Each structure stands twice: as C-alpha cells, then as structure tokens.
Structure 1
Amino acid sequence: MPVPLLDLKAQHARIRDEVANAIMKVVDDQNFILGTQVGDFEKDVATLSHTKHAIGCANGSDALLIALRALDVGAGHEVITTPFTFFATAGMTHNSGAKPVFADIDADTFSMNPEAAAAAVTSRTKAVIPVDLFGQMSPIERYVKAIDLPIIEDAAQSIGARRRVDGEWTMAGERAMIGTFSFFPSKNLGGYGDGGMIVTQSDDLAMKLRRLRTHGAIKTYVHEVVGFNSRLDTLQAAVLAAKLPYLAGWSAARRTHAAYYDAAFADLSDIRTPAIDSANESIYNQYTIRTERRDALQAHLKANEIGTAIYYPIPLHLQECFAYLGYKPGAFPESERASKEVLSLPVYPELTQSQQDETIDAVRSFFGR
C-alpha cells in the first residue's frame, strides 16, 4: 500500500463541509478583498501567538519581505540568518536590498547557533532572522540576549509551537520583534492556496506592516510610502479560520506519530531521530531523520512506495544565485553535513497505524533489521 509523504485529501475529507460552508459565505457576500473573515482570522492568530497584532498578507515570503521593510532594512545593510532553510528567508533579504549573512546551525536541532549569529554581527547588521525549522522553535530568548538588534522569527513551519522560557510557555512569534507565518498548503495550518501572516507586539510596527501590505496606504489613494500588493485573500482567511480549531489536535497527532517512530528506530545506530530541545514542544511540520546513507535509503523507500522528501539538499550559501556573497564549500560545515544526511518521513495527522508500520518496516529492512 503506497504511503504518501502528505495526504491533504484525507484531511479535506474530514472537514469538507465546514470549509465549503466558509467558502460559500464569502462567495455569497461577494466580499473578496479584506473581508470581515480576514480581520477575524487575524484576531484568532494574534490570540494563538500571544501577540497584540496580526497582519495578514499574501504568503510567507511576503511576510518576511514586509517585515524587513517595516524595519527599514535596505541597501547597505546586512541581515544574519541560517543557510539551512527554505530559500525565502535569504531570498527576501536579497529582495529588500540587504546582504544575507549566514551563521551555521546547531548540529542537533538545526536551529541557527546563537553564538555563531552573534559573531557575525557587524556595524552594517540591521536584523537577525532565526528559523523555527521542522516545527520546533529556535531559542529566541538567546538571540534576544546575545544580539541587541531586531529579531524576525521565521515561524513559517511552527504555528502553534511553544517553548518554555523562564518557566513560562512562549508561543511561536511571541517574543521576537516580528514573527512571520506561512499558510502554504503543506503547513500544519495550510490554506487552499498561498497565505501569510505577520505578528508583533508593537503598535507602531503594526501600523507600518498594515500600510506596507496595501501599496503603502492606510487611507485609500493616500500613499505615504511605496508598499506592496500583498493582502491575505478573504477566501483563504475563511478556509484557515475553519481549519484553525483542528490545529492543536493535528499537531498532537504528529507528536504521537513522532514518538512512535522514535521508539521504532531507537535501536538503529545508523539513524539519528529528531532532537527536540527539552524546552520545546514541537508541532512536527516534518519528521526528519539523519543518516549517512540518505540517498540509498530514499531510493529504497521510493521502491517500496513510501513518500519522502529532502529538506534541504543544497544549503543557501552554495546556491548559484548567492555566489556573489563569496562563500565556499566548508564555510558552514554543520549545514553542509545536514544537507547530505536529512530525510523527512510521513508524519501527517491522518497517517494510519498500518501506514506508519509499513514505513517503519521499510526503513528497518534497509538497515537489515
């Protein structure tokens, strides 16, 4: 029986009527641009993330770019981030006019190493963007303590994740100056198309962010700055609001699947299962193992009709488009090593016991167990 990496049809089958009703409400109202559903969903995300403001936008990439613009990041500036993440984090830095500067990751959690990030700061550094990779939060409090600069938390993969800081739970997006979310369909909370959100505790930044997403205007046809056309679509807000009540349960199911994998692979010395910081509660956007035989294992799983993916096969400092930055192989050894070893297995909430057992059996058989 084939086991897909992600099965959105299985999810949709369980919530179809609720989502369809939400969509048809927008269609019947014919209020497609910044309709009431957008504002309502923004309030829901602000509540979830323990933030004062949430501003919807077109996608997670725009969320990063608008955040950078709101902090006046541009030509002549540098932004520190990780080379082991999705392209948008560095790509939007480039598109802002600033120069991406990379700092290597922690070998266990894949989070950008705070000490490495602090060491990369120069007089031109304008902001730092840690990434909550694969569903667990980066140590935001350590960046805030070590670096006296604005922190943008790229929380595209971690909505609803939390971390204990000074004995209290901190939500993804809560402690950074700005947090950004993506609602790409494969995310734990995914839309039926693109969508993004920006969160902040700052009234001033919230005003800038709202202005920037609508061509630099709060009042129609009065443009204080040149902004973007990047609104969260009302249809997407309606879909996401219908799905939001299920998010905690879906993330809990992913944690259950992850624990089952952890136990099943505990005796395999050739595999490193995900290392979750003891302060974190991950939402497991991905269940990512490490093995030096990654490519052969992936081929074996493909032959057994098990879906997998490699996030990410080429670290950003070695991408052709960033050759102008001057980085060479060996510059960030942990990121380069991870790119050769990581493999993500199916962990979506609707994954059945038999599907997970089939995946486990295929992995174990590859290692002769």
Structure 2
Amino acid sequence: MEVNFYTSQREYLAKREEFQQAIENVLKDGIATLGKEVKDFEKSIEDFTGAKHAIGVASGTDGLILTSDILGYKNGKEIITSPFTFLASTSCIARYGGKPVFVDIDPETFNIDTTKIEEKITKDTVGLLPIHLFCQMANMDDIMDISKKHNLSVLEDAAEAFGMRWKGKGDTYRHAGAIGDIGIFSFFPTKTLGAYGDGGMVITNDDKLAELTKIYRVHGAKAKYHYDYIGYNSRLDTMQAAILLVKMKYINDAIKRREEIANIYKERLKDIEELKLPVIKGDQMPVYYVFNILCEKRDELNAFLKKSGIGTSIYYPMPLHLQNCFSYLGYKKGDFPVAEKVCGEILALPIYPEIKDEEVEYVCEKIREFYKK
C-alpha cells in the first residue's frame, strides 16, 4: 500500500466544481491585486479567529518579516524565541540585525519552555516570539505575564496553528495569533488551512499595527506612489484567496477529521514502549496539523516506513542554534539539550483530512512490525 505524507488531489477532486467556479470567477471578473476575494477572505479570518484585523500577505514568512520590522526587532535588539522551529521564525529577526536569543523547549510539547525565558531577559530585550508547533500552543499565560512584567512586545508565530485556541487561566478561548500584539498564519499547501501555493495572514487587535501592516505590504505607501516607509511587495494573491474561501467553508470538519486520525494513531501506538506520543498541556483546543512521535531508532524506522510505501517527514532534523547561518551567535552543541535530543528522535506521520482510516491503520501496523523485530 502507498500512503502519501500529503496530497492535495483528493480534496480537489471531492470539491472540484467549487474550486473551479472560484477560480473562474476571479478570471471572469478581471484579475486584480487585493481583489474582492482577498477582502472577503480577510473578513472570514476575522470572524473565525475573533481578531479585530486580518491582513493578507504573500506568505507566512513575509508576515514574520513585516511584523518583525514594524515591531522594531532589529539593530541589535534582542528577541527571545525557540531554536526548535523552521528557519523563518528566526531569520525574520536576524534579517535587519536583531539578535535571536534562544531558550530550550518543553520535552513534551516541543514549544518554548516558558520557565526559562526570564533568565534570558536583558536591557536590550524588546520582544518575545513564541512558536505554536504541530498540534498545540505555547503557554500564552506565562508569555503574556512575562511580556507585561518586562514591557516586551509579543509576536506569535502561528504559522502552523490555524484553529488552535488557548484558554489557560482566562474566561474564554482565544485564537492563536490573537493573544499577543500581533500574529501570523501560513497558508502553505500542507497547512490545516492550505492554499494551492503560498499565502499568509497577519492578525492583530491593535489598530495602529494593522494600519502599518497594510502600508508595509504595498511598498510602504499609505496612498499610491506616496511612501511613508520602506515597505514590501507582499499581497495575498486573489486567486489563492478564492481557493481559501472555499476551504474555509469546511474548516471545522477538516479540524475534526484531523483529531479523529490523531486518535487512531494514539490508540494503536500507545503500548509501544519505544515511542512517545503527543502530550497536550494547558487548557487549550489543539489542532493536529502534524502528528509527531518521538521514537527510538528513528532513522531506521523512517527508512523502513519509506520502504513500505509510507511518506513521512522530520520536523526538524537540526535545531537553529547549530545551523551554519546562525553560527555568528556563538551557540554550540549542548547549549539546548532538549531541542537537540528531540531533533534526533522526532518523526511526523501522515495526517490530512482525506487520508483513509485503512491507510492510517497500515502505518500503525508497519510501525508495530518494525519494533517487533
């Protein structure tokens, strides 16, 4: 049996008429940058997340770059974040001379260990950049308490966190990205809400930050050809917005289906001693964008699964503090032992709404077969 790590074809075939109609409408009406579909999609994100403002940008990476620039994460200022993440979460800080300051991760959630943040704060610290990874959010109660105590801004990297909500000690669940000063989503095709190409969104409850983001995404112009800032060309494509509007109609069903798949994995793999399964911490609503396991003999298992026709991925094989591009920061092996250990054991299994139960069962059977050898 072949089990793809991800495929967009099944979703397209199931909703082909809707996708084709959405694309045709854009072509028929005349393609425009930041067209009607972009505005409609931004409104749908505001309604879904409860954020006051949603601003479409070209990618999640662009969202991080724009917002880091706006928040002043540059020129030697320090921003505390995690070394266990995708490059964009930290390159956005380094791009304009900001200094990423890493904190190790929680071994069960893979998110930043909030108990270690305050010891890294200095007179040059200006912000916190938590990353909500895989299936759950970082401890936003701790992060917001620390930010208020030390007068720091908070940029939430919610690229993987669409649909996730945090309650913690609060009275209500708040959507990822809408708790700190500003947050971003990625609509990369594999994401919980994925486009058919690149796309991103910035959300905030701050009127000034929203206005600046709208200006920065169109070259820094408040009015056409009148530039207040050195901005960017980063607009969500109208065609991608049209596709995403179709997907938004089914987003709650997609999230529910991901949970069903995750539960199959948990039930079938729970008694394998060589594995550690995801642990959700804090009062929150998780979303299984990725289903990761920690496993003994990870590389051997991965090779066995691939040989068995099963697609997998490793998020992430090397922490950022050991990457060549960040060698100038002076970190060395052993500085963040939890992140380093996780990088050697983590493995992502196939999970997307259109995967079949029998395919998930096959993955579990092959994992059990490997560890019985």
Q: Could you state the TM-score of these two structures normalised by the residue count of structure 1?
A: 0.98
In structure 2, the residue matched to 1:149 is 152
C-alpha distance in 1, partners of 2:361/2:106? 30
- Give the Å deviation of 1:201: 0.3
1:26-37 to 2 correspondence within 5 Å? Answer: 26-37=26-37
CA deviations 1:254-287 (Å, max 9, x no partner) are 1111111111111111100111124222211100
Partner of residue 161 from structure 1, selected from 153, 164, 188: 164
C-alpha distance in 1, partners of 2:122/2:87? 23
C-alpha distance in 2, partners of 1:27/1:97? 42
- Say yes or no: does 1:117 pair with 2:117: yes
In structure 2, the residue matched to 1:75 is 75
CA deviations 1:77-99 (Å, max 9, x no partner) are 11111100111001111113211
Mean CA deviation greater in 121-130 or 183-192: 121-130
In structure 2, the residue matched to 1:245 is 249
- Give the Å deviation of 1:246: 1.1
1:180-259 to 2 correspondence within 5 Å? Answer: 180-259=184-263
C-alpha distance in 2, partners of 1:40/1:96? 33
In structure 2, the residue matched to 1:24 is 24
- Say yes or no: does 1:335 pair with 2:333: no
Stretches of structure 2 lacking an aligned partner (at least 5 in a row) = none
Mean CA deviation greater in 70-79 or 301-310: 70-79
- Give the Å deviation of 1:338: 0.6
C-alpha distance in 2, partners of 1:208/1:343? 39
- Give the Å deviation of 1:72: 2.3
Q: Determine if contact 1:286/1:347 at 8 Å carries over to the other structure.
A: yes
Counterpart code for 1:245: K
CA deviations 1:11-50 (Å, max 9, x no partner) are 1111221111111111111132011111111111111111
1:1-369 to 2 correspondence within 5 Å? Answer: 1-147=1-147, 148-165=151-168, 166-368=170-372
Q: Determine if contact 1:32/1:235 at 8 Å carries over to the other structure.
A: no
Counterpart code for 1:297: L
C-alpha distance in 2, partners of 1:172/1:266? 28
C-alpha distance in 2, partners of 1:245/1:142? 34
Counterpart code for 1:100: P
CA deviations 1:100-154 (Å, max 9, x no partner) are 1111100100110112222211111121110010031111121010233111110
Q: Determine if contact 1:317/1:327 at 8 Å carries over to the other structure.
A: yes
Counterpart code for 2:159: A
Q: Determine if contact 1:215/1:228 at 8 Å carries over to the other structure.
A: yes
C-alpha distance in 1, partners of 2:238/2:320? 33
C-alpha distance in 1, partners of 2:118/2:30? 50
Give the SS at the match of 1:79: strand
Identity %: 39
Q: Determine if contact 1:107/1:334 at 8 Å carries over to the other structure.
A: yes
Q: Determine if contact 1:65/1:96 at 8 Å carries over to the other structure.
A: no
C-alpha distance in 2, partners of 1:278/1:177? 21
C-alpha distance in 2, partners of 1:11/1:108? 32
Counterpart code for 1:164: K
CA deviations 1:161-184 (Å, max 9, x no partner) are 112232421111121110100000
Counterpart code for 1:234: T
Give the SS at the match of 1:151: strand
Q: Determine if contact 2:218/2:233 at 8 Å carries over to the other structure.
A: yes
User: Number of matched residues?
Assistant: 369
- RMSD across aligned C-alpha pairs, in angstroms? 1.1
Q: Determine if contact 1:80/1:128 at 8 Å carries over to the other structure.
A: yes
Give the SS at the match of 1:126: strand
Counterpart code for 2:206: S
C-alpha distance in 1, partners of 2:25/2:74? 41
Counterpart code for 1:236: Q
Give the SS at the match of 1:175: coil
